[in-house]
Amino acid sequence: MRLYNTLTRKIEDFAPLNPPIVTFYSCGPTVYDYTHIGHMRTYTNNDLLKRTLIYLGYQVKHVMNTTDVGHLTGDDDTGEDKLEKGAKKTGKTVWDVAKFYTEYFFKTIHALNIIDPDIVCPATKHIDEMIKMIKKLEAKGYTYETKEAIYFDVSKFKNYGKLSGQKLEEKIQKAREEVHIDPEKKHPADFALWFKRVGRFADHTMHWDSPWGDGFPGWHIECSAMSTKYLGQPIDIHSGGVDHIPVHHENEIAQSETANNTQFVRFWFHNNFLMVNNQKMSKSLGNFYTIDDLEKNQIEPLAIRYLFLQTHYRQVMNFTWQSAKAAQNAFNNLKKIILTYKSYKTNKSYMSNKSYKTYFSSFISDDLQIPKALSLMWQMIDDKNLSPQEKLDLIYDFDQVFGLNLKSLKEKKEKIPENIIKLAELRKKYRQEKNFEKSDELRKQIEDLGYTIKDLKNNQYEIKKLT
Ligand code: AMP
Ligand code: ZN
């Protein structure tokens, strides 16, 4: 398997440290607002990576956090607390807000047939682990305390910036006037490990006791503390969106490598954005669509998954309803083809044509060339030398990676509306009475309403919707 590694900016040969197990950590959602399809692009691509590894024979141990502690709207400790903001907006408690949006997140990922992580760890359940890690960093002399918080001193960490390639001097303060900056902070890139419940945080709802007083953890420490707890260090693969590279992941590296004296992560896997009109789809810009919006536009969640398969994970992707509809059509077409193949009812499997599988494996293991693998599937469908059963077997085989849930596809029996059934029953009566004039009239009426009626033996009939 070859995989692009953000750390080295190269496509490298990937092999886990302890085969066949691959340790995989994904930065999870901040649960203060609706999960949208922008997030879903990232989580679908993580899922494609995981399914590819499984397809290639690895066992993936997958851990994901949920950020249910409020953290600030800016990655760099600036702005408002996101959960408190969400609670204010909805009039619920912060705990209810977190619970509601966590459930919405999982409902969404299940709708897209994304495999659940083996361990989902909410930050609020791991405060002790975070405190322990901060104490470790403190004992090593990498922290300092102000009236407001405990900070990680990035100037002490030699390799700060190795992931993004940014030098510390280049990190300019993005401060805007309305944003609060701790006056005692030494460097703008220093980040909070623990916030004290004082000053602007005096009313903070979520808070815990700590060696530094009552307060709550900074955002970055949760991923370091929880990933180490469940996966050890180094981790084989750590994923997130590209927005996490310059701050969140840089900070995770600084904390974890300082605390544990070894490399934190071997491969960094970053997903590019889903955009709308050249802007990142995001909660804060309000330009986002959820799975409920998809439903309103008659787009199935799995059709969006199909849409994501068409763009490589490292490329920016622009969302339009037109492209979503095109993906829905292609997906419908695929489903129809599968149902036709299934109707052949051969149960013999040949798999004589191994070369498609070879190509498929080579595409997916080449830094996840899923779009190429998808075109290969359509090429294979057009291949006159394969039997329907062979094609079906190959589709099911590929779908272990695509994740379109094609094996459980069943022919949907169209429900015939009551008024059509009434007309058909009336027509049956006329036919029994041999009143063919009336019965023909009713056939016409049924057809005008978009249905066909076929007469079967023993005065039975079959109604179908016209397509
Ligand atoms: P958040 O809940 O904002 O922390 O986001 C959760 C994950 O979704 C992060 O890895 C983000 O990078 C990713 N994400 C957020 N917006 C988008 C987007 N428009 N396209 C792709 N990934 C996104
Ligand atoms: Zn994280």
What pLDDT does 72 receive? 60
Ligand nearest to the CA of 256: 2
Residue 220 CA to ligand 1 center (angstroms) comes to 15
What pLDDT does 307 receive? 98
What is the value of pTM for the model shown?
Answer: 0.86
Q: Whose CA is closest to atom 5 on ligand 1?
A: 29
Cα–Cα–Cα angle for 24, 64, 121, rounded to 5 degrees: 130
Q: What residue ranges define each of the domains in the chain, with the CATH number in brackets?
A: 2-271 (3.40.50.620), 276-408 (1.20.120.1910), 418-465 (no CATH)
Among 311, 242, 171, residue whose Cα is nearest residue 6: 242
Instruction: Name every residue whose Cβ is closer than 8 Å to that of residue 209 and which is 6 or more positions away in sequence.
Output: none
| Max intra-chain CA distance, the chain | 98
Residue 281 CA to ligand 1 center (angstroms) comes to 9
Residues with CB under 6 A from ligand 1: 27, 29-30, 38-39, 41-42, 240-241, 243-244, 271, 273-274, 280-282
Ligand nearest to the CA of 29: 1
Ligand nearest to the CA of 25: 2
Among 200, 68, 189, 61, residue whose Cα is nearest residue 127: 68
**Strands 191-196 and 149-152: what pairing?**
antiparallel
Instruction: Name every residue whose Cβ is closer than 8 Å to that of residue 437 and which is 6 or more positions away in sequence.
Output: none
DSSP 220: H
Report which residue type is found at 138: E
Q: Whose CA is closest to atom 8 on ligand 1?
A: 39
What pLDDT does 74 receive? 58
pLDDT in tens, the chain (467 residues): 999 999 999 999 999 999 999 999 999 999 988 999 999 999 999 999 999 999 999 999 999 999 998 766 555 555 667 777 777 777 788 888 899 999 999 999 999 999 999 999 999 999 999 999 999 999 999 999 999 999 999 999 998 999 998 877 766 544 344 456 889 999 989 999 999 999 988 888 899 999 999 999 999 999 999 999 999 999 999 999 999 999 999 999 999 999 999 999 999 999 999 999 989 998 778 899 999 999 999 999 999 999 999 999 999 999 999 999 999 999 999 998 998 888 776 555 555 567 999 999 999 999 999 999 999 999 999 998 898 999 999 999 999 999 999 998 876 667 888 999 999 999 999 999 999 999 999 999 998 888 888 888 888 888 887 65
What pLDDT does 456 receive? 83
Residue 169 CA to ligand 2 center (angstroms) comes to 24
Q: Whose CA is closest to atom 17 on ligand 1?
A: 38
Q: How far is the C-alpha of 155 from the C-alpha of 141, rounded, in Å?
A: 12
Q: Whose CA is closest to atom 18 on ligand 1?
A: 38
- Return the ligand 1 atom nearest residue 288 CA: 19
Ligand nearest to the CA of 68: 1
Q: How far is the C-alpha of 163 from the C-alpha of 176, rounded, in Å?
A: 26
Report which residue type is found at 357: K
Query: Under a CB-based contact definition with an 8 Å cutoff, are residues 122 and 68 in contact?
Result: yes
Query: Under a CB-based contact definition with an 8 Å cutoff, are residues 61 and 21 in contact?
Result: yes
From 71, 243, 251, give the residue whose CB has the most ligand 1 atoms within 8 Å, as the site to mutate. Answer: 243
